[in-house]
Amino acid sequence: MITTATSSPKSLIIDPAYLNTEKIIKSFYVEDVTEDLNKLYVAFNLVAQNYSRFSSSNINFQEIYQELCDDPYHTLGLSRTLLLNGYNPNTNRVETLGTVRIVLGSFQPKNSTLPPLEAMQLISPLEGWDNFRFENFNANEAVELSRFATTFECNQGISKKIKLSHLVAKSLLTKAINFSIQKYQRKQIWAIMPRYVVKVITTKETQFSPVPYMTLNFQKHANLFQKYDKYWLHSHPWFYKITLGKVEVRANASEC
């Protein structure tokens, strides 16, 4: 069973005047919930809620849960799941607001048939992965960010007015990068993202470098791409290297 995604990790009451966005951002913190089953299911349910909207067909949460959350990268211990908690002005409480997954490219078990990054299953660069050298790509020194999701409450009431979902998404990105660097000493950060998401989560500290060319591995994963067609076939996702530095989002003609 998938538990509700709106449970609150803290019952701390905060003064209603605490609506300054800078103070709200300062209230954000992430926790690694990979080993905490209750909080992990909260994260998984968030993913299921968000990714159900990317399908034109009627798929249930349990199907998404099994396909996108409880997948080999999770079950084999190759990923970490983070929850972001912070102040929700709608409820005047500190609550769970979002989640992100980090695939650890350098932590492959022996005899694993999985590629170091999930993206390496789903897409291919023009030169193939064995010869891919864009931005000094090294899968064994990389992490991949995925499964970004925010609570529906972030787009309700006061939270919607202050674009809380955007604040949460930006914080998920920067905190996931810092977690990867500080915890695992991995400075190569990669992600598949639609361009509109890149625009939303870009900050002064981040730079997105799109690969020059990529194709979907449609022959192997046609069912997945068609099931989540609003994401894979209509939102034009692209593969990016993400670094800390001056903001620069370069669009490739293929993305338009």
Q: Please report the pLDDT score of residue 105 as a whole number.
A: 87
By the 8 A CB rule, do 189 and 243 touch? yes
Query: Domains of the chain, with CATH numbers?
Result: 21-244 (3.40.630.30)
Q: pLDDT tens for residues 105-142?
A: 866 666 678 899 999 999 999 999 999 999 999 988 99
Its pTM stands at: 0.85
Output Rg (C-alpha) for the chain, integer angstroms: 18
Residue 179 sits at the vertex; the CA angle it makes with 172 and 200, to the nearest 5 degrees, is 25
Q: How far is CA 250 from CA 88, 172, 210, 226, 254, in A?
A: 33, 21, 7, 27, 12
pLDDT higher than threshold 90 for residue 248: no
pLDDT tens for each residue of 191-223: 999 999 999 998 888 899 999 999 999 999 999
Q: What distance in Å separates the CA atoms of residue 190 and residue 93, rounded to the nearest whole number?
A: 33
Which of the 8 DSSP states describes residue 9?
Answer: S
